[in-house]
Chain A
Amino acid sequence: ELKVEQNPLFLSMQEGKNYTIYCNYSTTSDRLYWYRQDPGKSLESLFVLLSNGAVKQEGRLMASLDTKARLSTLHITAAVHDLSATYFCAVDAPNQSRDDKIIFGKGTRLHILP
């Protein structure tokens, strides 16, 4: 059974600092996703990582994927208050046929202090 674990689950940090959120998954998978969720809102897609060594950047966020280690990281550079949200990683379920199931981690609630 595929399991997706994020850490930390809660993170409070000051503006201007750098930090990394980790996402480990238990079995081989083809794709990894990062989503952002603001309080009371739905999930917004941030990145889709498709291959080993993939790195994608958008503003102060950078995501990377190491399929051999089954690890993805979401790195935050010089955090600003607007990045406060909950971040989810998700992985394609194995042995997919016609469906497109993905398995989510429990999310990392990020709170950036001004």
Chain B
Amino acid sequence: DVKVTQSSRYLVKRTGEKVFLECVQDMDHENMFWYRQDPGLGLRLIYFSYDVKMKEKGDIPEGYSVSREKKERFSLILESASTNQTSMYLCASSNYYEQYFGPGTRLTVT
């Protein structure tokens, strides 16, 4: 079974803090994605990566950056967390057939 894990299920951070969300997949997938999910807005793509050290902006990249130093790991970075970044963050990886999602990280920024 494909396994996508995320470093935290729940996270509380203060405004202005730097936040790292980590995602690891064990299926040697090339493509990895970060989404945020908010009520009434569905899933919105923040960034994706199709190879090590390669990244592309999604629909809402502002306020975020990403890092992919190894194929299995894709990190989402909030350089200076703000309250409007309070959300559920979902990581996914893909084998060109379908996307497999991690359990999600619910981030609260106070």
Contacts and interface: CB of A to CB of B under 8 A. Distances in A.
A and B interact physically: yes
Contacts of B25: none
Contact of A45 (B42, B56, B98, B106): B98
Contact of A41 (B41, B58, B104): B104
Interface string A86-105: 00101000000011111011
A104 B42 contact: yes
A104 B33 CA distance: 13
Contacts of B90: 42-43
A41 B96 CA distance: 23
Given A42-B102, A48-B97, A48-B98, A99 B42 contact: no
Interface residues of B, number: 26
Assign chain A's interface to a size class: 20 to 34
B64 interface: no
A101 B103 CA distance: 19
Contacts of B98: 33, 45, 48
Interface in A12-64: 33, 35, 40-45, 48
24 contacts: A33-B98, A41-B104, A42-B90, A42-B102, A42-B104, A43-B43, A43-B90, A43-B92, A48-B97, A48-B98, A90-B99, A98-B51, A99-B48, A99-B56, A100-B31, A100-B94, A100-B96, A101-B33, A101-B48, A101-B58, A102-B99, A104-B42, A106-B41, A106-B42
